[in-house]
Structure 1
Amino acid sequence: MSKIKELREKQARLVAEARSRLDEITDQTTEERAKELEAQHDAAMQEHDRLEQLIEREERLAKVEERHREHRQRERPVSGGSGGGVDEPGAEVSYRHAFARMICGAEVQHMSDEERAVLRAHTASFETRQQLASVAAAGGYTVPTELLNEIIKTLKAWGPMYDDGLCTVMQTSSGNPQTLPTVDDTDKSADEHAEGSALADDNSGDVVFGQRALSAYSFDTPFIKWSWELDQDSIFSMEALLGELLGERLGRLANRRLTTGTGTNAPQGIVTGSSLGVTGATVSGISFDNVMELEHSVNRAYRRSPKCTYMFNDKTFLAVRKLKDGEGNYLWQKGDVTRGAPDLFNNYRYAINDDMDDLGPNRIPMIFGDFAKYYVRKVGQPIIGVLRERFWPAVGIAGLIRFDGRVADPSAIKHFRNAAS
């Protein structure tokens, strides 16, 4: 009954989610947002109904199994007589036992009816281009054949650009274009005032405003499909597992586009939008002098920002960790977790982003500056959609994301470029 209890708990969460979506709709809610909330409500209730069908099947199956257990108990012989006995400990056939018998050489016709029935119950159909319970590499390792309820997931870090703590993040509910006003008044200053003279009125003191537009570009993942057998048999929630994997795919895509995106009908990556700070003397190296030159190519007004940061990939990080100043001290300083002090590079914080270039001819392996001047615009949240009717009897899942990014002030973020040759 624990599975039925788990399904009931999921239903309760879905009902609460559906109610919260409807409660969000008010007179001030835009039509687009209202439709989005209504769709989320409908999806939650549709999943609730699907779980209800599962619960009904589980309850029917439990009743049938109970009748069979009672029948076996009445018919199984007891010592000194027949019928009305009880199963000996371990007498009920498990899939593990039947599978081991078959693998060890027992011919199917020589196996008991119960053993053959257990094997048939765990046989899954082959389906093309889908995640299958019957094929190990395509999903069968999650089928409960006496396995631990763990799955080993291969990991790969993708970078920090979609995180809220590094750049300036703008979260919007709709994808309407937005404009960032800009102004560069650094070449202006006040002047001496002679007693009794009139103030200049020749437009020489006018402020020139500019603007940079933030759009909302859409990206998606292909559908992942898995069989209904795997959906029923898996000890994992396939939707939760695959949803997490798709979320990571969207995160990797967002980080790549926000790092090196072209900015032409696409997000502008922070590297693309940065300006040249220093060009190195070698095609594949970086020196302490280069680091100092890059740092001082950024005005000290930006260097005082709490979001002033170095960024490079892990290979470049290994190279710069070996750099020393003129007194033989490493530029990289280990932080102190007891005091909440982070690791630093040349007294500034740094970010590892493996979508940046390696050291190499004419490449940009390092940037530095005030990352608060890089704006990331997120539209809603990444959406993971599950479709059951379209691929029936299989299940499909895919992800969508909308975002944009742009450097608001190129003078605030500078890059180091290796020599071309």
Structure 2
Amino acid sequence: MTVASPETKAITPEMQAAHDALNDTFAAYRDANDERLAALERRSSADVLSEEKVARIDAALERQQAILDELAVKARRPALGTGERAGDDAARREHKSAFDAYVRTGETAGLKRLEKKALSAGTGADGGYTVTVEVEREIGRRLAAISPIRAISGVREISLGTYRKPFMTTGFSAGWVAETGARAQTNTPTLDELAFPAAELYAMPAATPTLLEDSAIDIEQWIAAEVETAFAEQEGTAFVTGDGNGKPKGFVACTTVANSAWQWGKLGFVATGAAGAFPAANPSDVLVDLVYALRAGYRQNGTFVMNRKTQSAVRKFKDAQGNYLWQPPASADGRASLMTFPIVEAEDMPDIGANALAIAFGDFRRGYLVVDRQGVRILRDPYSAKPYVLFYTTKRVGGGVQDFDAIKLLKFAES
């Protein structure tokens, strides 16, 4: 399996300064929240000033974390060089030159000749022309850096429209036997398959004629930079809540069942015991239950997934010794953690509410699969929005749960 992982970048002075500011703000948050809890114990009711102070520092903490996250993503985002890469062959350089001519001027002769030579039907009527290998690879690396679920999931590249993965619904039987004992015949496994169709994802950046005429502009880098955010936002939503119709199937959209009655094809959930909320007494206990709902083989690679508002709620939780369960990143390029497990912030996760599946925990590398079909295509459109030139850019992406035992959900309900 090919796993997309962002390149490790050096920690910049800006990242270190943001990390230090985040730690300082969290220290102030701990002090203010401790004062609030102490006042609550003395008076048996919330102190308005203490509540406002905690809320104010919590908002500042959110801003500091957002700044650090943005800087970390920027550092992980690779830069596309303007020079030729080592090992480029003549065909790749020819494609690069023909693609540049098409994007800048609309000249199609070079790309038509190349795709005819490759026995490809990639004409304009077929939906545009294939971008260069460098641009396709660059878009994939950038998505791995900024798309939250893709960054922690398994990723596989395919050349066909659907990826099919077999799995055993009943396995081989096994057992112990003495050296000279009789061996019973083993059962034949029953196989089924999961299908992950690749749906079309598109973005349509616009350029001015002046930009396209400027030879100093690296047109490939411009395209990669323009489509990365649009692609990341759309696929990020689909990987979480997508219904599987013309888009990937999100893990929150899967059929769910109480974890005690878990079965293959459904995701197990742990209920908080309170409708739309954490329980009033020992609220963090349900997080412990969620962690240990996952089997040990998955738990060691577990990651929490939640949105920023939910993370703000769990930030107040402490263990029996009074230590906060949420901790800021240990380094400027790290992630915040909850109960020592990393937290991935996905804004498409539901807010805390009645029956909401607002927190997920699991080994997403084994649990969720992102499928990328080879080839990113561009169709140049100089007519629809004159004087601007539109670039209808498409790639095919699929996704879905591949191991239903590797992800568990926290449901904010009584049962």
Match of 2:166 in 1: 181
Q: SS of 1:310's equivalent?
A: strand
Q: Could you tell me which amino acid in structure 1 is paired with residue 269 of structure 2?
A: G
Q: Could you tell me which amino acid in structure 2 is paired with residue 372 of structure 1?
A: R
* Residue 247 (1) aligns with residue 228 (2): yes
- Counterpart-to-counterpart distance in 2, 1:236 and 1:194: 74
Match of 2:156 in 1: 170
Q: Show CA shifts across 1:82-133 (max 9, x none).
A: xxxxxxxxxxxxxxxxxxxxxxxxxxxxxxxxxxxxxxxxxxxxxxxxxxxx
* Residue 217 (1) aligns with residue 273 (2): no
Q: SS of 1:171's equivalent?
A: strand
Match of 1:23 in 2: 91
- Counterpart-to-counterpart distance in 1, 2:162 and 2:252: 22
Of the three residues 240, 246, 253, the one matched with 1:259 is: 240
Q: Higher Cα Rg: structure 1 or 2?
A: 1
Match of 1:318 in 2: 312
Q: 1:182·1:408 contact (CA, 8 Å) conserved in 2?
A: no
Higher relative contact order (CA 8 A, sep 6+): 2
1:176 Cα deviation after fit = 3.4
Q: 2:199·2:247 contact (CA, 8 Å) conserved in 1?
A: yes
Q: SS of 1:365's equivalent?
A: strand
Q: 1:22·1:41 contact (CA, 8 Å) conserved in 2?
A: no
Q: 1:283·1:359 contact (CA, 8 Å) conserved in 2?
A: no
- Counterpart-to-counterpart distance in 1, 2:193 and 2:338: 33
Match of 1:284 in 2: 276
Q: 1:243·1:384 contact (CA, 8 Å) conserved in 2?
A: no
Of the three residues 255, 267, 274, the one matched with 1:275 is: 267
Q: SS of 2:397's equivalent?
A: strand
Q: SS of 1:301's equivalent?
A: helix
1:21 Cα deviation after fit = 7.8
Of the three residues 148, 151, 159, the one matched with 1:160 is: 148
* CA distance 1:49–1:255, change in 2 (3 Å): closer
Q: SS of 2:252's equivalent?
A: helix
Q: How does 1:220-235 map to 2 (within 5 A)?
A: 220-221=202-203, 223=204, 225=206, 228=209
TM-score (norm 1): 0.56
Q: Could you tell me which amino acid in structure 2 is paired with residue 304 of structure 1?
A: Q
Q: Could you tell me which amino acid in structure 1 is paired with residue 148 of structure 2?
A: P
Q: 2:370·2:397 contact (CA, 8 Å) conserved in 1?
A: yes
Aligned pair count? Answer: 281
Q: Show CA shifts across 1:39-70 (max 9, x none).
A: x653323457689xxxxxxxxxxxxxxxxxxx
Q: Show CA shifts across 1:297-337 (max 9, x none).
A: 111121123xx211001111111111112222211133432
Match of 1:117 in 2: none
1:247 Cα deviation after fit = 2.4
Q: Show CA shifts across 1:363-384 (max 9, x none).
A: 1101111112211111236555
- Counterpart-to-counterpart distance in 2, 1:188 and 1:350: 38
* CA distance 1:360–1:228, change in 2 (3 Å): same
1:404 Cα deviation after fit = 0.6
1:216 Cα deviation after fit = 1.2
* CA distance 1:295–1:200, change in 2 (3 Å): same
Q: How does 1:41-60 map to 2 (within 5 A)?
A: 42-47=98-103
Match of 1:132 in 2: none
CA RMSD of aligned residues (A): 4.0
Structure 1 unaligned spans of 5+: 1-11, 26-36, 52-156
Q: Could you tell me which amino acid in structure 2 is paired with residue 42 of structure 1?
A: A
1:194 Cα deviation after fit = 5.7
Q: Could you tell me which amino acid in structure 1 is paired with residue 164 of structure 2?
A: T
Q: 2:200·2:247 contact (CA, 8 Å) conserved in 1?
A: no
Q: 1:277·1:298 contact (CA, 8 Å) conserved in 2?
A: no
- Counterpart-to-counterpart distance in 1, 2:106 and 2:195: 44
Q: Could you tell me which amino acid in structure 2 is paired with residue 349 of structure 1?
A: P
1:270 Cα deviation after fit = 2.5
Match of 1:199 in 2: 183
- Counterpart-to-counterpart distance in 2, 1:240 and 1:347: 38
- Counterpart-to-counterpart distance in 2, 1:395 and 1:245: 13
* CA distance 1:190–1:230, change in 2 (3 Å): closer
- Counterpart-to-counterpart distance in 2, 1:323 and 1:178: 42
Aligned-pair identity (%): 23
1:395 Cα deviation after fit = 1.7
Q: SS of 1:409's equivalent?
A: coil
* Residue 296 (1) aligns with residue 280 (2): no
Q: 2:355·2:412 contact (CA, 8 Å) conserved in 1?
A: yes
